[in-house]
C-alpha cells in the first residue's frame, strides 16, 4: 500500500493555498504538527500488532478526518483534507465517485462535525459508498518487423 508522507500532505496544503488563497504561516502552515505525524503513523503502523484502521476506506477516512475536523493547518484544512484523501486513494488504485458539490458538502460536515453530529463512522460510510476502483490505462508497445 502506498502512503502519503508528511511532505506530500504539506505540499497539498501549499498547492491549495497557491491556487485558492488563504492564510499561510511559517514554512509548512502546520498549526498542530503532532496531529499530522500521529495520523500518518496511525494509518501505516500497527500498535501492539493491531491495525487500528485495517481497510483502505478506514485509513482514508481517519486521514481526512484528522486534517479537517481537527484543523491541523492554519488554513485550507477542508481542501487539504479532500485532496489528501483523493491522493491516498488514487495512489492505491481507487478514486471517489462524487461531484465537486458532494466533496464540498462532506468537507463542510467534517469541518463542523462538533455541531453537525457528523461522526467518523459517518465519514467511513460516505467514503465506502463513493469509492471506486480507478480504471487502469494499459499501454501496449508493439514491435513492428
Query: What is the maximal distance between C-alpha atoms in the chain?
Result: 68
Residue among 2, 5, 9, 3 nearest 84 (CA): 9
For 6-133, which CATH superfamily applies? Fic/DOC protein, Fido domain (1.20.120.1870)
Q: What is the pLDDT along the chain (145 residues), one digit of tens a residue?
A: 999 999 999 999 999 999 999 989 999 999 999 999 999 999 999 989 999 999 999 999 999 999 999 999 999 999 999 999 999 999 999 999 999 999 999 999 999 988 888 999 999 999 999 999 986 654 444 444 3
Determine the number of helices (DSSP H) and then strands (DSSP E) in the chain. Answer: 7, 2
As a whole number of angstroms, the distance between CA 120 and CA 122 comes to 5
Q: What are phi and psi of 73, to 5 degrees?
A: -100, 160
pTM: 0.90
Residues in the chain: 145
Amino acid at each position: 500500500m502506498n502512503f502519503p508522507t508528511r511532505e506530500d500532505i504539506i505540499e497539498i496544503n501549499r498547492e491549495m493555498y497557491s491556487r485558492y488563497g488563504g492564510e499561510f504561516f511559517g514554512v509548512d502552515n502546520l498549526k498542530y504538527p503532532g496531529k499530522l505525524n500521529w495520523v500518518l503513523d496511525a494509518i501505516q503502523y500497527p500498535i501492539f500488532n493491531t491495525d487500528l484502521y485495517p481497510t483502505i476506506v478506514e485509513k482514508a477516512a481517519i486521514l481526512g478526518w484528522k486534517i479537517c475536523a481537527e484543523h491541523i493547518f492554519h488554513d485550507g484544512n477542508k481542501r487539504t483534507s479532500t485532496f489528501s484523501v483523493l491522493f491516498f486513494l488514487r495512489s492505491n488504485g481507487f478514486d471517489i465517485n462524487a461531484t465537486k458539490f458532494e466533496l464540498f458538502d462532506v468537507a463542510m460536515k467534517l469541518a463542523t462535525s462538533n455541531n453537525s453530529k457528523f461522526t467518523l463512522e459517518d465519514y467511513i460510510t460516505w467514503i465506502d459508498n463513493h469509492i471506486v476502483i480507478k480504471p487502469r490505462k494499459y499501454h501496449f508497445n508493439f514491435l513492428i518487423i
